[in-house]
Amino acid sequence: MATELARLGVRARAAVKSISTSSSAARDQALLAAADLLVAGSATLLRANRADLDRARANDLGAAALDRLALDEGRIESMAAGLRGVATLADPVGEVVDGWVRPNGLRVQRVRVPLGVVGIIYENRPNVTSDAAGLCLKSGNVAFLRGSSSALESNRAVVAILREALVKAGLAADGVLLVEDTSHETALEFMRLRGVIDCLIPRAGRQLIELLLEHGTVPYVLDGDGNCHVYVDRSADLEMATDIVLNAKTQRPGVCNAAETLLVHRDVARRFLPAVARALDGVELRGDPEVCAILPGTTPATDDDFATEFLGPCLSVAVVDDIAAAIAHIDRYGSGHSEAIVTGDVGAADTFVREVDAAAVLVNASTRFVDGGELGLGAEVGISTQKLHARGPMGVRELTCTKWVVRGEGQVRQ
């Protein structure tokens, strides 16, 4: 007997043709209708959200988690604005990526097409429901969503609105589907729906990623950790370096593109470290022996500190002999997310850009810019830390694949 999830999977596949072959206009119409319906239905949404919040408080959810879960009129307006923004993006579907004519006259093109069914596992922010579904719809994909139990009522209400908008635009309601069973067993079953899910994006904790690596069979794109570094070269403008370190560490410390380690060239360490320590007031520094010698009273850093994504007001700091040592440190401890150099030396900049193996390398700019919106993708569905398919911020284009289209006049192979 098919499980409830398997039945949902059949519905998702059945909706693929309606969504993937729909016109750009119909998909945009659905996005705009969903935005209007979210605002118009805010009373219903807030009621559902209140039920989730009451349950969450009864379950002693922490303050940060409660904040992420909570909706208000402003947040609903933001969700609607997000959908309207996605509607204004260029449609990635149908783009001819490249093409040529073969000597035998065959006309060859690679054309961008939707993936089909995109599965997303996420945690308790209800706005992810509309954000993710909007990006899937824009790119011609069915959104198969599995949110957290804490946000179930809110997610149901958002999904009901999205489905209503799809129908208004003449598209299959099943273009957006919510998995309401949030058990661990169902998460496992979800990541084994090979043939149903064309791409799974887990926006969730490390435990779920481990489960996916060990037991998942569907294709996936990992949105991993960011242990990001800022390297201050000997030739750096030290004021610029202070601004960048301060921004990278403190502008929003709880996110993956925040800096976790500062590396300083030996030649400027005595001048730079006291200045940056003053600027980083309120941030705990954990230093290697040389840092501790220059900044007495600094907590000594352990090897673990350099490997840790603090996601809070803590920064590990090391002095390095040269750019090669900085790159070697990043090779060893980095997670391949975002790595920055501050330098005035064009050779150092080029070496860093060439040799650091990460989704994004930045020269004289804050790591905080590694974000789909900031880099110009309009919106992002996540930041990939893997190399295959997509790397770094993923926009609507990363929710597509290509299809070879070959046209001839009867050619056969010799």
Q: Which listed residue (12, 277, 359, 379) binds its own copies by CB under 8 A? A: 359
Q: Which listed residue (100, 207, 278, 297) binds its own copies by CB under 8 A? A: 100
Q: Which listed residue (76, 199, 294, 317) binds its own copies by CB under 8 A? A: 199
C-alpha separations of 286 from 7, 250, 311, 323 in Å: 52, 16, 14, 21
Residue type, 364: N
The reply to whether 411 sits near its own copies by the rule CB under 8 A is yes
- String marking each residue 220-249 x if it binds its own copies according to CB under 8 A: -x---------------x--x--xx-xxx-
| Window contacting its own copies (CB under 8 A); options: 119-127, 148-156, 313-321, 373-381 | 373-381
Which residue's CB is nearer to its own copies, number 6 or number 324? 324
The answer to whether 165 and 175 are in contact (CB under 8 A) is no
Which residue's CB is nearer to its own copies, number 21 or number 88? 21
CB of 404 to its own copies, least distance (A): 4
The reply to whether 12 sits near its own copies by the rule CB under 8 A is no
The answer to whether 97 and 401 are in contact (CB under 8 A) is no
Cα 133 → chain centroid: 14
CB of 291 to its own copies, least distance (A): 23
The reply to whether 405 sits near its own copies by the rule CB under 8 A is yes
On the 0-12 / 13-18 / 19+ scale of CB atoms within 10 A, 243 is: middle
The reply to whether 305 sits near its own copies by the rule CB under 8 A is no
The reply to whether 364 sits near its own copies by the rule CB under 8 A is yes
The answer to whether 180 and 152 are in contact (CB under 8 A) is yes
- Using only the alpha carbons of the chain, give its radius of gyration: 24
The reply to whether 410 sits near its own copies by the rule CB under 8 A is yes
How many residues bind its own copies, per CB under 8 A?
A: 67
CA distance 106 to 410: 9
CA distance 134 to 382: 13
The answer to whether 262 and 315 are in contact (CB under 8 A) is yes
Which residue's CB is nearer to its own copies, number 165 or number 245? 245
CB of 61 to its own copies, least distance (A): 29
On the 0-12 / 13-18 / 19+ scale of CB atoms within 10 A, 116 is: buried
The reply to whether 302 sits near its own copies by the rule CB under 8 A is no
The reply to whether 404 sits near its own copies by the rule CB under 8 A is yes
Q: Which listed residue (156, 366, 382, 396) binds its own copies by CB under 8 A? A: 366
CA distance 219 to 318: 38
Which residue's CB is nearer to its own copies, number 80 or number 377? 377
Residue with tokens 């059945």: 14
The reply to whether 381 sits near its own copies by the rule CB under 8 A is no
The reply to whether 59 sits near its own copies by the rule CB under 8 A is no
Site for its own copies in 247-286 (CB under 8 A): 247-248, 251
Q: Which listed residue (23, 149, 365, 378) binds its own copies by CB under 8 A? A: 365
On the 0-12 / 13-18 / 19+ scale of CB atoms within 10 A, 304 is: exposed
In terms of DSSP H, where are the helices of 105-151?
126-138
Q: Which strand (E) or helix (H) includes residue 47?
A: helix 42-58
Pairing relation of β-strands 228-232 and 338-342? Answer: parallel
- Compute how many other C-beta atoms are within 10 angstroms of the C-beta atom of residue 203: 18
Q: Which listed residue (393, 394, 395, 396) binds its own copies by CB under 8 A? A: 393
Residue with tokens 């320590």: 277
Q: Kindly write down the DSSP assignment for every residue of 199-238, as one continuous string.
A: EEEEES-HHHHHHHHHH--S-B-------EEEEE-TT--H
Q: Which listed residue (56, 294, 358, 381) binds its own copies by CB under 8 A? A: 358
Q: Which listed residue (60, 74, 214, 304) binds its own copies by CB under 8 A? A: 214
CA distance 170 to 378: 26
Which residue's CB is nearer to its own copies, number 21 or number 302? 21
Which residue's CB is nearer to its own copies, number 56 or number 115? 115
Which residue's CB is nearer to its own copies, number 49 or number 384? 384
The reply to whether 14 sits near its own copies by the rule CB under 8 A is no
CA distance 93 to 137: 11
Q: By CB under 8 A, name the binding residues for its own copies.
A: 16-17, 20-21, 100, 102, 106, 108, 113, 115-116, 194, 198-199, 213-214, 217, 219, 221, 237, 240, 243-244, 246-248, 251, 349, 353-355, 357-366, 368-370, 374-376, 386-389, 391-393, 401-413
